[in-house]
Amino acid sequence: MNYKLITAVLVAVSLQACSQQKPHNINQTTTKMDSAKHVPTGKESKYRKLTPEEERVIVDKGTEAPFTGAYENNTRKGTYVCKRCGAPLYRSSDKFNANCGWPAFDDEIPGAVKRIPDPDGMRTEIECANCGAHLGHVFTGEGFTSKNTRHCVNSISLIFIPADSTTGGTK
Ligand SMILES: [Zn+2]
């Protein structure tokens, strides 16, 4: 009689042990999925990864088709930063409507934009002073605004950060 009772207890204990293993396995799976979300740090996150079209303009100094960019008619308050490195380049307060097919600014954030004589010998190329990303060209003497300057910038070279954005952190 006693022997039968001991056997029954042992079977009961081993069944319980089995049922406790299941939740443990589920926890392990969840942990694996969380660690799969890799957040790049350090050098690899210095520059944003560009799409082929972004690379054509920003790296190979191409020009986006006029009247196709995201920001030509954007009148919201905020800051335009470099698509590649995130450096603040232009303020919305310096943006004006030149109706030329691309976003136009009559001033840059001091020190943010580099001017380089264009290989075509006539125009002046503008680049992000921080990373050298191609932005567009700057023209003077056209009389659009009192500053007499027009930065003609490809939308695709920029990211707009609205002033009311909580993630922007720019003034
Ligand atoms: Zn840049």
What would the pLDDT profile of 72-127 be if each residue is shown by its tens digit?
999 999 999 999 999 999 999 999 999 999 999 999 999 999 999 998 899 999 99
Backbone angles phi, psi at 52, to 5 degrees: -55, -40
Give the residue-averaged pLDDT of 46-74: 97
CA 146 – ligand 1 centroid, Å = 28
Which tokens belong to 124? 């002046």
CA 92 – ligand 1 centroid, Å = 18
pTM, two decimals, is 0.71
pLDDT reported for residue 142: 97
Backbone angles phi, psi at 135, to 5 degrees: -105, -45
Contact 149, 139 (CB under 8 A): yes
Give the span between the Cα atoms of 12 and 1, in whole angstroms.
Answer: 17
CA 32 – ligand 1 centroid, Å = 35
pLDDT reported for residue 46: 85
pLDDT reported for residue 19: 45
Mean pLDDT of the chain: 83
CA distances from 37 to 30, 31, 33, 34, 171 (A): 12, 11, 7, 6, 31
Active site residue 85: no
pLDDT reported for residue 4: 62
